Structure 1
């Protein structure tokens, strides 16, 4: 789930005219013209409110992946699908003295990396444990008009995917939520089959994710190479999870090219639930 804005200026306009005689004037001449100065001002552009940690938002799946713009917070006592766990300031000034747009690649990478790094701590999981959950970080930067007015924040929200293009309704507080069954990653069928759908483990499911395997390299290796690398670790994870260490089965899911390009450099081991 990804993301994507220069500084406004105060406009002051001064206008007026004046006339002042330099010679005495006779009684027959008109009286001196008066002097007048008119000042017009315009209000500075409004950068809008800065997000706050703990705010809740009712986002659709489409809004969560849009990551550009502003959504009004809702009270956390009501239905919501996202909660802000960190607010940061974008580093928009370059070493050369230029000002980046908030939709620049550098600004968006700052938001992405910061939000991703802080999610595991917020949910009370390790980064490796977080791989086996449906929790995701999404980030927002200011809409264009507010960015032009000087808004330079980025906002990190936690969402939990409940199923295809659906977000889970969250509790009032999400800190430490990472071990909840609704957040754990399960599936309706083995990976690679037509019926495979990723769901939270609180929903009806037939398989569960139990481990992940790192895949090294800058490019995604061939599928057979990935399968060979995952085979041993997934078998060990399945054996450890099984009631009978001599009777167990597992399936493994390697990353797609799209997932690899998005930063997922690991595969997932699955066992029957």
Structure 2
């Protein structure tokens, strides 16, 4: 699954870490303080996603678009007096967007982690923040840091991962190894497919360290991929685990990859 901009929704890319809050310079703006519209579609680019706020125009969802707003809400009063670029905003919004994202796509946690879509959040721009706006916006995007340019989304992305998702929305990789490979949708030629995930810890547990997480992940993936392939006499598998930053952000899963013949 391809990662969100400011807090990591693990993207199936080894050691992917994204910053909590983007701190790029913004142009002065006179945008409204009113919250954006849930369900609106936009043609976002990686350059748009790199910014902490977004004023790109909406487009009809029947037209080509790469993003759709799936959640809009108000920041809690405890965060209202913070600066607009305070990392605490991103830490709080992560829980809201990540939970809503899984529900919006109608996929389980494993399917969401193994998908090519990701989410990004935006806050009011500096002018609107100074004027009192305290909303947040969560958008699903058709790609991520390691899958660009973004793919066009369907007219409505709600339920995108329900049941058995089409290969075009699941993540695979090309290359000698998973870590060095290029991430692609599984509908394109590939040599690796993300097939399962493993839960390596529970909420509230301290990070056990890279070595232990790597060992747990490798042991599980060896068995899991073998079962997925039908227990052949020999096979290749790969794994992706995520470090302490992602652990602190809430991720407790690693990803298992099977080498395929496609």
Which TM bucket (shorter chain)? Answer: 0.7 to 0.9
Residue 266 in structure 1 maps to residue 253 in structure 2: yes
> Residue 170 of structure 1 aligns with which residue?
153
Q: Distance in 1 between matches of 2:90 and 2:210?
A: 30
- In structure 2, the residue corresponding to 1:66 is in which secondary structure? coil
Q: Distance in 1 between matches of 2:38 and 2:82?
A: 25
Residue 184 in structure 1 maps to residue 170 in structure 2: yes
Alpha carbons 2:116, 2:147 under 8 Å: kept = no
CA RMSD for the aligned pairs?
Answer: 2.7
Greater length-normalized contact order (CA 8 Å, ≥ 6 residues apart): 2
Q: Which has the higher strand share?
A: 1
Which of these two proteins has the greater Rg computed from alpha carbons?
A: 1
Residues 191-237 of structure 1: CA deviation (Å, up to 9, x unaligned)? 4554x1122212221110011223345346244x3342123321222
Q: Distance in 2 between matches of 1:110 and 1:254?
A: 23
Q: Distance in 2 between matches of 1:93 and 1:235?
A: 46
> Residue 11 of structure 1 aligns with which residue?
none
Instruction: Output aligned runs, 1:1-273, within 5 Å.
Output: 1-2=5-6, 3=21, 47-93=32-78, 99-161=81-143, 163-178=146-161, 179-191=165-177, 194=180, 196-216=181-201, 218-219=206-207, 221-223=209-211, 225-256=212-243, 259-260=246-247, 263-273=250-260
Stretches (4+) displaced over 6 A: none
Q: Which sections of structure 1, spanning at least 5 residues, go unmatched?
A: 6-44
Distance 1:192 1:183, change over 3 A: closer
Distance 1:117 1:155, change over 3 A: same
- TM-score after normalising by structure 2: 0.76
Q: Which sections of structure 2, spanning at least 5 residues, go unmatched?
A: 7-20, 24-29
- In structure 2, the residue corresponding to 1:166 is in which secondary structure? coil
